[in-house]
Structure 1
Amino acid sequence: MHSDTANIFFTVVIPTRNKPELFKLALDSVLSQSFKNIEVVVVNDGTADDLLPAYKALEESYGSNVDFRYQVRRPNGHGQSYSMNTGAYVGSGKYLCFLDDDDYWIDTEHLQRAYSSIVSSNSEVDAYYTNQAAFFLDNTKLHANVWIENLTEKTDGLEKDDFGAFKVTAEFLLTTRGFAHLNCSIIKRELYLTIKGMDENIRYECDRDIYLRTIDASETILYNPAVVSRHNIPDPKKSDNMSTLVSIFEKRLYQITVYEKAIMLSKKQCIRLHSKAGLSDIFKHITEEYIRLKQIKNAASYAKRATASNFTGKWWLFSKYLSLLAWFKA
């Protein structure tokens, strides 16, 4: 860790709660980076009393190399967004990096490559994105496009720098329906603060929200296809992470908020169009969930919203069918 806080290049923020053993793996993966001009800010979001001593022991063992911050305990925590903002505001690095406490970086050259690409760019870089691999509990790899990994197939013809990064646009990034995971996102701190950081009212897909707002505000974006992180898919039986803490309809409400914000507030048309299509998809998912629950009236209502958000003849006909079915069942 660099001792001169005035010249720190990367601030790495690790929000954590109730996972001291997994957190240690995440932290060690950061400290194992070959690039050392960094600071690490750990934001402990109200860990349970029985697990807190393990964190305190880790804090003592790492000493001044890591800045540990502790938040008041609340039943559901303050949330990832609040914790990330806490770390971003107290950090002093020119660029912000983030890492979940149950994941870890697998590439020790990740930050060195990012630094090299950023400082060699002929324009100041606003955001730098990479990829990660996802694994189930049994260590089986997920073979599906989840985030922006399929952009790798679309880089032919783009100019690559000496460190593997491509200069890309928001339009290019949105050719995939995914978004960059926070583990794989590096954002200029000044820009992060300008767009007011994470939305603390969103507890599911808050990373999609910050991604859309970041690329909307960015002029220079770099994408390096390198796989730098391992994402451990949460255990669906546990309610200790964003993916399992909220119900399916609560998740959909958060997703609707993310897309409606982007439609209303984005400056770039490509983001607004992308978000209209995404919002339509969410309404379709809600429609299907209500059909599964045999709540046809609700299903018909959301089918209409899906059609209004992003018209297709197929869904227009389907919404009419559901409306008739709801009328006959009334």
Structure 2
Amino acid sequence: MPNTTFDCASLHQFSDFFAINTTNVTTAVEACPEKCSLAWGKGNPDLSGIGVFVSYILQLAVCLLLGPCYAIVYRFLDRKRQKHLAEIHITALQTTVFLACPIAVASIIDLKRRPTLFEARFVYYLNIMELLAACVLVSTMVLRREGDEAFPIETRETITLVLGLTIQLGLSIGVIHWVDRRSLSAKEVRAFVTACERSGVVVPIPPRDWANKYNKSLKGFLGVLLLISIGAAVGIYLLIAKSKSKSRPVWLCLVSTGLATGVAYSFAKMHLARVELARLSKNDYADNEWGFGQIVALFAWVPLLVEASIPLLIAGSGPLTPVWTRAKEAVKSKVQKPNDEVEPEQ
């Protein structure tokens, strides 16, 4: 029978369960089983809202295009296009690194206040995704060193990237370790989940899965993804072998494909977490809202999009060149004609 002496009204969020003595977590759950829903929360628009999630989709697309696809097409382009693609690649790596660093810092701040299980799960796979995304772009960066003439990276860019990658590596691994070993594997969190299950309320599992029965759909997705990756890798190998190119791009392509698969896997886990949250929170789902941080996250990719669209802008201006030339000549002739008609005085 529920303990009616416990003040259930004092529980407003997930962290409130742990504001009391940890030995009373089970008692609090048994007294207020309806409060187990606080564990999953309602979402966090600044973490997983529409705008930032579109930014994560762009991150995944960049990894696929400038990872395996970059390794395939790079050697088939002329030098001018290779140079432009290499510049796009560096811009993408810089954007990835300097987006991942504040994400990791924000994750640490969020974890310190004991977030909901959804936020911790999302943060966990988000940091894995950002770390692997940087690895994808670094693995294909060596292509610019091949050929008769390499495209060197400026010293300031090298220093910036090395510093950024070092900071990202340390912060991201720290966040992953925190969630995996401390934040959600803590004894009191396990006690909370167990108490909720005994009360008939199933709490969605945290990132460190304690039961395999919840992962059937994810395992199916991962299996299909691995099969597609293997098929793509074999096709890439045959394509490059047929072109009689060097073997290095083959291995770069295979490595980047494997890393990109990890990025896609992490993104899938984030997406499934949002789907599960929307199902559980129903009308209280907050991740469909737009916020200040979401707009900022979207505009972080603007420099890369501008850099990539330069050839398209140049190509699009080609058909307009004759029109512009004729217009200039017409204006010039109209200006010169009256001057020609005026005869100098004798």
User: Shorter-chain TM-score category?
Assistant: under 0.3
* Structure index of larger Rg: 2
Judging by fraction of residues, say which structure has more strand: 1
Judging by fraction of residues, say which structure has more helix: 2
